[in-house]
Amino acid sequence: MLKVLFYTLMFISSQSAFSKDLEEGKLAPSFEAITIKGERLSLAEQTGKTVMIHYWATWCPTCREEIPIFNAYFKKHQKDGLVMIFVSIDEPNDLSKVKEMMKLYEFPIAMEQDTKAKAYGRIWRIPLTFVVDKKGVLRKNAWFDDGNISEAVLEKNITPLLQ
């Protein structure tokens, strides 16, 4: 019983520390990635742009349904300063699956092992999206995790951040 209590307390304390790093309305934690095309991306270099960091996987049915919606939104708003980066949590040996699935899409794609994003926590649940405004402030902390993405949801919640 003491072991269960100990591990429960450790989990709760690690979750509270994790949420402090990802508090909406505060500066977003550092994020860096090398895309599957070899390009380096850094959240710090995106000041003046609205950035969506989206975690997904090829084996996730909800993720596969959402990608075309995100792509259409990206194409419509890229000129407004929208930056999207999709981070696949697929295994490294599944890179060819990731490339094949994403070859028609225009936003940058990275593999999780090629990112430096420790403060975003261990990603174990997907899809998961973080939105950072033009000033580098975290505006949405994984609010897309209910699988209820539509163009209307993106327009309502993201478009105002592009103004």
Q: What is the mean pLDDT of the chain?
A: 83
Which tens digits make up the pLDDT trace of 43-98? 999 989 999 999 999 999 999 999 999 999 999 999 999 999 999 999 999 999 99
Please say if the pLDDT value at position 110 is more than 90.
yes
Contact 138, 25 (CB under 8 A): yes
Region of 36 on the Ramachandran plot (φ > 0 left; ψ -120 to 50 alpha; else beta): alpha
Q: Can you tell me the distance from the alpha carbon of 155 to that of 28, in angstroms, rounded to the nearest whole number?
A: 22
Please tell me the CATH superfamily of domain 24-162, with its number: Glutaredoxin (3.40.30.10)
Where does the pLDDT of residue 8 fall: very low under 50, low under 70, confident under 90, or very high at 90 and above? very low
> pTM of the entire structure?
0.82
19-33, 41-55, 96-110: segment of lowest average pLDDT: 19-33
Q: In the structure encoding, which two tokens stand for residue 58, read together?
A: 């090829």
Locate the domains of the chain by residue range: 24-162
Q: Can you tell me the distance from the alpha carbon of 44 to that of 147, in angstroms, rounded to the nearest whole number?
A: 28
